[in-house]
Structure 1
Amino acid sequence: ERWRPLLAEFFISNGEKLTTLSREQHARLATAMALNNDIAMVNGQPTGEPTELALFEAARRNAFDKESLECLQPRIAAIPFDSVRKRMTTLHRLDTQVIAYVKGAPEQVLPLCTEGLNKSPETILANAEAFAAEGYRVLALASRVLPALPDTLDAADIEQALDYLGLVALVDPPRPEAQPAVQDCLSAGIKPIMITGDHPGTALAIAQRLTIADTSHTVLTADDLSHLSDAELQEQVKTARVYARVSPEQKLRIVAALQNNGEFVAMTGDGVNDAPALKQADIGVSMGQKGTDVAREASDMILLDDNFASIVKAVRTGRRIYDNIRKFIKDTMSSNSGEIWTLLLAPFLGLPIPLLPIHILWINLITDGLPGLAFTAEPAEPGVMSRPPRPPRESIFAHGMWQHILWVGLFVAAISIAAQAWAIAREAAHWQTIVFTVLTVSQLFHSIAVRSETLSIWRLGIWTNIPMLLAISSAFLLQMAIVYLPAFNAVFHTQPLPAFDLLVCLGLSSLVFFAVEGEKYFIRRGWLYQTA
């Protein structure tokens, strides 16, 4: 079932709570809902801002069609919504007069009403706040008949002595995947913050429903923020989770205050007024479906499906990609380090040069190329969303990577040179093939071991990366072909190895795997790289 973002749940008209509006008793309220908006028909479908779209469709469901009504009451002017007034007014020709329809926040509209109030404004506002506390987005609608269109469209002159028409309660249900996405954020060390123009009660109710806030949190409103200095705001943003009735300038202040506290801020927004905050944020994310062009231009990323859960999926994917890049670098540089140390140290120990240039090229081709490609298919490690974000300026060689590259390179060199010395001591003519094989196969074992930086390969699962298994198997078979097929012996200057010598090569090479598994065990116990 398609998720509906916003829906008019019920109406308050003449003191009654209604789910439908009749043409006889509630025509003025329904007419205001139908006409006071900027909804346009595109390819036969109404498009526009979600709140206005919800009002438009609610009116149309109750047989109050905007197009038909505009034939009787054509729109001649409008005073657009702004974040200070929190109201929108449209003016329509009605016979020889002009009628103004006003919609907006109840606390901004009700004080301007002098007619149609079957209860005191304070009582109606209290009811509106009670609905808001239940998570509803509440709007008040009013009208005023003018003798003629004013020469100047001054909101203060037009939006006064209004005739109260009623309230509309909109329900904005979170997507089913929103709450799990928020939980993933919290476990990943990402602090979700809600900044909205909605009523404080509505904002807090939705935030608590999504577990962004709990009962211990309060809401900071625009009035609260206006009385805070920059230093005080910087202190408040450390604990605040919900901001309501916030102006664009205050959104910018909130983002700047978080950044001044050392936070890395990602900001989502869709409107023109969100553009400054999107630009200020470290990562600005605009909405691809309902976002304005200005917001898209100011942002760093565009969310094509307007779904918060997609941001969390992107974080998960980004962490997986970054982890796999680290694994590739660790594997490649450790392998190359082993070759360098082997070639460098062997002559100092009185041994001949272990490898020919063609051997080095072959090792780099099959041990870097095939497993390197397979690392791109490595799935996210368990718990990838249960660790805090890395510092933005952290080196990719942090957390023990450079130490790993150094000791693994020396270890691979040690077993390769040991194999060389053992073969030469036995006067084996194929000693160079032994070194060649140990270096190649040990790097393949290393590629298997570094599939996780902390988890044992047995816990990670051998079969969780089939491309890696295929890459390792293919590389090993190619190496055996180089060793045992006469056509390749002449090209690579290799000789077939006796079974015992091959087993020795495999046994020595496997030591790299067990050594890296031991390193991961020490990391899990907290004995290595805690401050690396």
Structure 2
Amino acid sequence: MWFNKDPKDVIIELSSHPVEGLSSAEARRRLDRDGENKLAGKKKKTLFALFLAQINDAMIYILIAAAIISGFMGEISDSIIILIVILINAIIGVVQESKAEKALEALKQLSTPKALVKRDGILTEIPSEEVVVGDIVIIDAGRYIPADLRLIESANLKIEESAFTGESLPSDKDANILIVAEKPQIGDMKNMAFMSTLATYGRGSGIVTDTGMNTEIGKIAKMLDEEEDDTTPLQKKLAGLGKTLGFAAVGICILIFAISMFQGRDWFEMLLTALSLAVAAIPEGLPAIVAIVLALGVQRMIKENAIVKKLPAVETLGSVSIICSDKTGTLTINRMTVKKTFFNDTLDILDNLDITNNEGKLLVEGMVLCNDATSTEESKTGDPTEIALLDVGIKFNIFKDPLNEEHKRINEIPFDSDRKLMTTLNSYANKYKVFTKGAIDSLFKICTNISINGTISPLTEELKEKLLSKSNEMSDEALRVLGLAYKDIDTPNIPLDDFETNLTFVGLMGMIDPPREEVKSSIELCKGAGITPIMITGDHKNTAFAIANELNMAEDISECMSGSEIDKYEQNEFNKIVNNYKVFARVSPEHKVKIVKAFKSHGNIVSMTGDGVNDAPSLKAADIGVAMGITGTDVAKGAADIILTDDNFSTIVNAVEEGRNIYNNIKKAIIFLLSCNLGEIVALFIAILVNWNSPLLPIHILWVNLITDSFPALSLGVDPMDESVMEEPPRNPKETLFSGHMGLYLAVNGVLIGALTLIAFKFGENIYPGSLRHAQTLAFVVLSASQLFFSLNMRSTKKSVFKLGIFGNKYLIGSFILGLGIQFIIITIPFFADIFKVYPLTITDWIIAILISTVPLIVNELLKIAIKNKK
């Protein structure tokens, strides 16, 4: 590999020249051979292909069959209604899916548009797509890296690689070192630069080793391209339900037809009856209702700062049991911040810093003056470490620009990675001060004294050990420690070599990219909800553990694993041990995918949050990918299912709560619809079995299924949030839609509604002998009204509807009133009565029908009490 070879050997191997670069002719030949330096993507699906994918579903096939059946039975209007339902459902899916696959396009856009290269001995700026292997690329601050490079020269070069590594600080680069490790992580390849990263400091040059899809970012693109989407749990359940209902519909047709032949009935009449019974088995509005409920949930989540790209992702997020979160910018604020200081023999938090004290003021002033960064409310530029030091000054009203005016910089020695020091000379009245900041071990070499409480004393070995102990104490908390030293001089005209000699040590500052304040409580909420938060980061193990420990994500460093340790395990072996760890540090994109797959292997529904290019493959591999909207790259946003507009971990918890409620509401709507359809089947099946007249006409069944049931089902889908939902553990991904007593409610209410419909029918036949239409009208009203009363119970299978409040769901009450109103209009207005073949009811008929229809409300309240007492 290139990282373990000398730059001279790389240049020879790639047939280039350090001064002349490539010739234009050779560059053209290589461009023709290797292709343009850009990322390739897979062919996009057409809108028509997306549309076909939406209707390629068992439930949709059943709906199409229902439309054909309705048309065959002469109910053309019902056929049209069903086809409209199918069309709306498909359009919603196409709109969502057409926006979902943009990850590769975003990866392409990350490539820098221009690159500075040597061609024919001349520096030339060319489009990055024309960069070829062997090109000598010039790097300076602010310029993107156009391809993967082996560095040839470097001078204080720093490159921002957080999108790859997850590290808060830019990586120091050194062309002269050789990497001896066999498989180093990207963050450890100090002699390499990678496509689409940004040079933030210093300068350098490098030779192109890989372009396009062969680069590190290209490998990520391949991983994105190869990663297949999994259908969500709800999609799988509905698909299974659709197949079951399809087989049931066919079975019912065959069974009823066979029974009718045995009874000697008219075969054509019984064929129509059997088909109407099959229609009763199919909840025609179910796919549309589920899609609408999900869409309404998406609108609510937007208000909670979460943008959902795919409708089913709402449900999936609500079922997650593992949240794998990136550290930088997700759990932390993505800004280096000074947390502790040490001076005057005292280690304390920054808030307790006393700038009225001589050493305290000197420590802050020195860190601000010996600094090349800028920090204002409008913008922050420069090294994040230096910005953090300026922010300390701002906290104590010591601002860089006024301080520089008062104490002008006369001379300086820039920071050097070998010295690990930076020095400035500033004017102080008629005298001058030399300020030097840097690593404590480097300061020890140039300091002879120490200032403690206004007294300057010799810096003894004993004091050095104490200072080192305090520095290590901060390092153990994953703080990055910088020290300050100074000396007073009378004249600025001294050699630079004398600047960093005989200095007086002042103090230390320890900084870190700290956790977001609100994240700790959010993580506790996750744990209470049975969700395990996992940190996955490119940062070092100690730093990652310090943050995880502060957030109560991990209690011991033994719960942390590094990328190099992950490499020791094959996927199957890693799957067995993954549950022992809460923090994964120094990881690569491949590791992230491996971790996600390992957690999924235990049956978990895994969510992955992230913001960088390196997070994209794992966002795709996870059941639900959550990208940061502010700091997130276009790649992460393109690969994710949900985007957080405020980059706040707490928003994830709110989204989980919303997702759980949406799923529960959808489940309520599904069980309600199936119970109603089962009631229709029971009524028709028993009537035929005992050789009665049919209590319901096909148009009655279709009307109830498409209209009367739909509004209550939708209302249940937007039922107000259950405050106790986050006290429940995550759903078992393998559980059916009928878990949690839902199957019991389905069976009891299906049989009950069917029985009440038959009771009303026989009551009508006995009261009005010879008037089949009158009896069928009573059955039609009871079927519809009993389902409306039952919908009130379905708000909760545990709490009484009276405890929840009858008017707690205003939409459901509206649906209830609308349903009864529509039934009244159909039966009393002659035009509609002729269409639906119903008979005008008397006031007594209505009272009896309503009284019979209230039975489900009473029975379900008693059922809730029985279940509660049993527990």
Cα 1:71–1:504 shift into 2, 3 Å: farther
Alpha-carbon distance in structure 2 between the residues aligned to 1:353 and 1:202: 74
Structure 1: gaps (5+ residues): 80-86, 95-100, 104-108, 149-161, 528-532
Matched, 1:30 2:30: no
Q: Percent identity?
A: 33
Question: For residue 846 of structure 2, what is the amino acid of its counterpart?
Answer: L
Q: Which residue of 1 aligns with 2:392?
A: 58
- Contact 1:49–1:290 under 8 Å retained in 2: no
Q: Counterpart in 2 of 1:340?
A: 681
Q: Distance in 2 between matches of 1:501 and 1:288?
A: 60
Quickly say closer, same or farther: Cα 1:201–1:141, change in 2 above 3 A.
same
Q: 1:303-322 residue pairs with structure 2 within 5 A?
A: 303-322=644-663
Alpha carbons of structure 1 residues 259 and 415: separation in structure 2 relative to 1, 3 Å: closer
Q: 1:57 to 1:123 in 2, by over 3 A?
A: same
Q: Which residue of 2 aligns with 1:383?
A: 724
What whole-Å deviation, never above 9, does each CA across 1:236-287 have from its counterpart, x for those lacking one?
Answer: 65354456x6454776665555445544433333445555655554444332
Deviation at 1:178, TM superposition (A): 3.1
**Matched residues in 2 for 1:238 and 1:419: separation?**
58
The equivalent residue for 2:692 is 351
Partners of 2:812 and 2:606 lie apart in 1 by 36
In the TM superposition, what is the alpha-carbon distance from 1:298 to its structure 2 partner? 5.2
- Measured against aligned partners, the alpha-carbon deviations of 1:317-364 in whole angstroms (never above 9, x if no partner) come to 111111111111111222122223323332332322222343234323
Q: Secondary structure at the match of 1:476?
A: helix
Task: Give the C-alpha shift of residue 68 in structure 1.
Answer: 7.4
Amino acid at match of 2:467: I
Q: Aligned to 2:860, what secondary structure does the other structure show?
A: helix
Residue-by-residue CA offset, 1:21-65 (whole Å, 9 max, x unaligned): 889676653345x33x6x798x94226897664334335653335
Q: Deviations over 1:141-189 (max 9, x none)?
A: 589xx999xxxxxxxxxxxxx9998532347775554343223211211
Q: What do the CA deviations read for 1:183-232 (whole angstroms, capped 9, x no partner)?
A: 32112110123456778887667656544456xx4554567974995499
Which residue of 758, 763, 768 corresponds with 1:417?
758
Tell me the distance in 1 between the aligned counterparts of 2:862 and 2:619: 46
For 2:811, give the aligned amino acid: P
What is the rounded CA distance, in whole Å, between the counterparts of 1:265 and 1:163 in structure 2?
54
Task: Kindly state the Cα deviation for residue 456 of structure 1 after the two structures are TM-superposed.
Answer: 2.3
Amino acid at match of 1:54: A
Residue 127 (str. 1) matches residue 470 (str. 2): yes
- The secondary structure found in structure 2 opposite 1:267 is strand
Q: Is the 8 A contact 2:339 2:512 kept in 1?
A: yes
Task: Single out whichever of 117-126 and 417-426 deviates more from structure 2.
Answer: 117-126
Whether the 8 Å contact between 2:716 and 2:794 is mirrored in structure 1 is no
Distance 1:177 1:166 in 2: 31
For residue 316 of structure 1, report the CA deviation from its aligned partner. Answer: 0.6
Counterpart secondary structure, 2:650 = helix
Contact preservation (8 Å) 2:367, 2:437: no
Name the residue aligned to 1:140: 482
Q: Relative to 1, partners in 2 of residues 1:477 and 1:275: Cα closer, same or farther, differing over 3 Å? A: closer
Q: Partner of 1:462: helix, strand, or coil?
A: coil
Q: Is the 8 A contact 2:554 2:582 kept in 1?
A: yes
1:29 counterpart letter in structure 2: M
SS in 1 for 2:795: coil
CA apart distance, 1:506: 1.9
| Alignment CA distance shift 1:227-1:488 (3 Å) | closer
With the length of structure 2 as denominator, give the TM-score of the two structures.
0.47
Alpha-carbon separation, structure 1, partners of 2:341 and 2:664: 52
Aligned residue runs from structure 1 range 44-123, under 5 A: 44-46=378-380, 53-58=387-392, 62-65=398-401, 109-110=439-440, 114-116=444-446, 118=459, 123=466
Q: How does 1:189-204 map to 2 (within 5 A)?
A: 189-194=530-535
Query: SS at the partner of 2:859?
Result: helix
> Closer, same or farther in 2 for the Cα pair 1:453/1:369, shift >3 Å?
same
When the two structures are superposed, what TM-score results if normalisation uses the length of structure 1? 0.73
Question: Residue 530 of structure 1 aligns with which residue?
Answer: none
More displaced, 289-298 or 510-519?
289-298
Question: How many angstroms does 1:521 deviate by?
Answer: 4.0
Compare relative contact order (CA 8 Å, sep 6+) and give the higher one, 1 or 2. 2
Matched-pair contact (CA < 8 Å) for 1:114–1:163:
no
| Equivalent position of 2:836 in the other structure | 492
Q: What's 1:449 paired with? A: 793
1:161-200 matches, within 5 Å, as 167-170=508-511, 175=516, 177-194=518-535
Query: Is the deviation greater in 445-454 or in 13-22?
Result: 13-22
Alignment partner of 2:737 out of 375, 396, 401: 396
The alignment status of 1:362 with 2:696, answered yes or no, reads no
Aligned length: 486
Please name the residue that 1:156 is paired with: none
Q: What is the match of residue 767 of structure 2?
A: 426
CA distance in 1: counterparts of 2:632 and 2:416, whole angstroms: 22
Matched with 1:151 is none
C-alpha displacement of 1:67:
13
Cα 1:47/1:237, change in 2 over 3 Å: farther
Letter in 1 for 2:680: E
Q: 1:328 to 1:88 in 2, by over 3 A?
A: farther
CA displacement, residues 270-319 of structure 1 (integer Å, 9 cap, x when unaligned): 44555565555444433222334454455443322111110000001111
- Determine the C-alpha separation between the residues in 1 that align with 2:832 and 2:504: 95
Is this contact kept in 1: 2:541–2:562, CA < 8 A?
no
Q: What SS does structure 2 have at the residue aligned with 1:238? A: helix
CA RMSD after TM alignment: 4.8
Identify the residue that residue 439 of structure 1 maps to in structure 2: 783
Counterpart of 1:502 in structure 2 is 846
Indicate the residue corresponding to 1:157 in structure 2.
none
1:91-117 deviation digits (Å, cap 9, x = unpaired): 9999xxxxxx987xxxxx555665246
Distance 1:47 1:344, change over 3 A: farther
